[in-house]
Amino acid sequence: MDASSVSDPADDDVTPLPRDPALETALAGWASRTREPVDVEAALARVTARRRADAAIGAPTDTVSRSDAVDELAARRATKPRAVPAPRRARVVGLAAAAVLVLGLGTTLLGRGGEGAGAARREWRTAVAQLDTVALDDGTRIVLGPASTLVADAGYGGRARTVRLAGEATFTVTHDAARPFTVRTAAGEVVDLGTVFTVRVGDANALHVQVTEGEVELRPAADPRAAARLRAGDAARLDGERLAVARAQAVPADADALAQRRLAFRDAPVTEVREAVQRWYGLRIEVADSVLLVRHVTADYTAEPGRRVVSLLALALGAEVAWRGDTATLRTMPPARR
């Protein structure tokens, strides 16, 4: 699993806490028995998004995965007691050292080991602007978008292959007719029929699916009987009970949009764009005029600074932008200024 970010989330003035000799001794012992390191800088970025992501998918808060524990331990060791500039460097903590935090918090450590019928629940989380690539043992590959959470249910790889998603991800699935791959969201679920597809989750009632290869079945949570089968080139938007399918309109190149750090919208409602911008850049967009909320956006943003993306979005909508901190307010531009 390799994580990357479009911007460095680490603070310039992060400095570690004073050394704890007993803790350092324990860490050294555990680290000598593991070959899996973790980058503390990236771990710090993931910590900031964890609780919010848990709430978005209703994940239990009384358990913690092995990767969660590593991130939390890294955060505690790197917490800044005072603002002192420190050189940027990769600080590495042994994966098994997470046991220290787990014992201290009295939480349950869930392993990230094999994916057979006995495998435990596993989670992957990204911070704002961060991407992650997840490779499952069945050959399925997932690119997890910014500020997103992916959960593989306990027993994944046994009789069923089910994951839960909050945020955005592109799935390249190894097909197995006997064990369908299912992506569950608050709005509905997507069942793989042998394919490559992207899922973008909005609020509790919104979902966008775009199929690049093969087929999927989209089943609305509000009415699973209203399922729609999507083939390569199809896209669908689910908003509550309303399901709209666009046939043969998906852009094949968008299958690699996440991996290319490209923010792509195809006739997307402003609400979807607003949520994506917040995940990618940590910027909030408020829409002051209801007329803007019914407009749609088709655009690609590649390696653009966040504020420029908002400015381009406003231009496309015929709106003007007013900034207050990291919050942008969009208002319909007066006719004389268009």
Among 102, 118, 150, smallest CA distance to 258 is for 150
How do the domains of the chain map onto residue ranges?
A: 262-337
The count of other CB atoms within 10 Å of the CB of residue 99 is 17
pTM value is 0.65
Residues 6+ apart with CB under 8 A from 39: 3, 90, 91, 92
The count of other CB atoms within 10 Å of the CB of residue 131 is 22
Mean pLDDT of the chain: 74
Residues 6+ apart with CB under 8 A from 248: 233, 234
Convert the pLDDT of each residue in 111-165 to its tens digit: 333 444 446 788 999 999 999 999 998 999 999 999 999 999 888 878 889 999 9
- Amino acid letter at 304? E
Question: How far, CA to CA in Å, does 211 sit from each of 32, 185, 228, 242, 265?
Answer: 45, 17, 12, 19, 14
Convert the pLDDT of each residue in 165-186 to its tens digit: 999 999 999 988 889 999 999 9
Instruction: Domain 262-337: state its class.
Output: alpha beta
Under 8 Å between Cβ of 333 and 317: no
Convert the pLDDT of each residue in 234-291 to its tens digit: 999 998 888 999 998 888 888 899 999 999 999 999 999 999 999 999 999 999 999 9
* pLDDT score recorded for residue 272: 92
